């Protein structure tokens, strides 16, 4: 199937967790559509490899820990010295271990929520003021079907993604009188490296809940992200777009 082409010329996008999985494919598609892309990731080796493979003059990268507000804020200011930030894709996230809540390591629980929820807040908090100034912006927060349903033995991940959904709805309403769209997407399991962090039993349980009978393909996810990030999306905001293969019941 031929992919729809979007016009992202003269647009600059920041993609967090952009060195692999969803983020890498989103960055690739944005670049092909004419955007300047800045990928953030906390894995230097993966970032180096991604830049090498994408090999595009409109691509730049930074090693960033999105859970560190000062680091995020400082880098945003540096970017804004030379460019606008028109698109923000909050994709960085970790699943954490598979464990019951009462056995979950407290510090690890905090880390999962810090990256998945506070990381999204930190990026929005740092970038939104410039979007307000320019009266333009497209923000897509990558949540998860786990944030809707709550996955057993994944309380930290589920809670962090549920918080991301609520954050999206709040921020979208706060910016609704401006040309800034803020939306969330809730994928089910996808064929990315994040599955490697889970046990085989947990992965199979996830798959059994999907009526389509397969995992999400990365390219399918990217297509939804592109539309939400485009100028064509002039009305949808503070919304949650499901891409779970029929798993979600609401």
**Given a cut of 80, is residue 199 above it in pLDDT?**
no
The CATH fold of domain 12-243: Rossmann fold (3.40.50)
Give CA angle at 187 (185, 188), nearest 5°. Answer: 160
- At residue 181, the 3 state secondary structure works out as strand
The domain locations on the chain are 12-243
Q: Which of the four pLDDT bands, split at 50, 70 and 90, describes residue 250?
A: confident
* 82-110 confidence digits (pLDDT tens): 999 999 999 999 999 999 999 999 999 99
Q: Report the alpha-carbon distance of residue 63 to residue 17 in Å, rounded.
A: 10
Whether residue 6 lies in the annotated active site: no
Sequence-distant (6+) residues with CB within 8 A of 117 are 159, 160, 161, 163, 164, 167
pLDDT of residue 62: 97
Q: Report the alpha-carbon distance of residue 186 to residue 244 in Å, rounded.
A: 7
* 11-66 confidence digits (pLDDT tens): 999 999 999 999 999 999 999 999 999 999 999 999 999 999 999 999 999 999 99
Q: Which of the residues 6, 104, 136, 157 is marked catalytic?
A: 157
Q: Which of the four pLDDT bands, split at 50, 70 and 90, describes residue 200?
A: confident
pLDDT of residue 4: 73
Q: Which of the four pLDDT bands, split at 50, 70 and 90, describes residue 213?
A: confident
Instruction: Encode 115-149: b = buried (16+ Cβ within 10 Å), e = exposed.
Output: bbbbbbbbbbebbbebbeeeebbbbbbbbbbbbbb
pLDDT of residue 193: 67
**Given a cut of 60, is residue 1 above it in pLDDT?**
no
Show the DSSP H helices in the chain as ranges: 21-32, 44-54, 69-80, 106-113, 119-134, 146-149, 155-174, 200-208, 218-229
């Amino acid at each position: 199937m031929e992919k729809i082409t979007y016009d992202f010329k003269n647009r600059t996008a920041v993609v967090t967790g952009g060195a692999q999985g969803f983020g890498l494919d989103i960055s690739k598609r944005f670049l092909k559509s004419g955007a300047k892309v800045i990928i953030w990731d906390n894995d230097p080796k993966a970032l180096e490899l991604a830049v090498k493979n994408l090999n595009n003059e409109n691509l730049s990268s930074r090693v960033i820990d999105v859970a560190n507000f000062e680091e995020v804020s400082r880098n945003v200011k540096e970017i804004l010295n030379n460019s606008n930030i028109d698109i923000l894709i909050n994709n960085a996230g970790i699943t954490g271990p598979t464990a019951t809540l009462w056995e979950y390591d407290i510090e690890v629980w905090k880390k999962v929520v810090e990256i998945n929820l506070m990381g999204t807040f930190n990026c929005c908090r740092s970038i939104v003021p410039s979007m307000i100034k320019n009266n333009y912006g497209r923000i897509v927060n990558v949540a998860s079907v786990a944030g809707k349903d709550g996955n057993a033995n994944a309380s930290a991940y589920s809670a962090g993604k549920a918080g991301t959904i609520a954050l999206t709805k709040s921020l979208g309403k706060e910016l609704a009188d401006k040309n800034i769209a803020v939306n969330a997407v809730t994928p089910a399991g996808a064929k990315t490296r994040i599955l490697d962090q889970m046990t085989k039993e947990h992965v199979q349980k996830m798959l059994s809940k999907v009526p389509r009978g397969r995992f999400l393909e990365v390219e399918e996810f990217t297509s939804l992200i592109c539309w939400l990030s485009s100028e064509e999306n002039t009305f949808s905001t503070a919304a949650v777009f499901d891409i779970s293969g029929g798993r979600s019941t609401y």
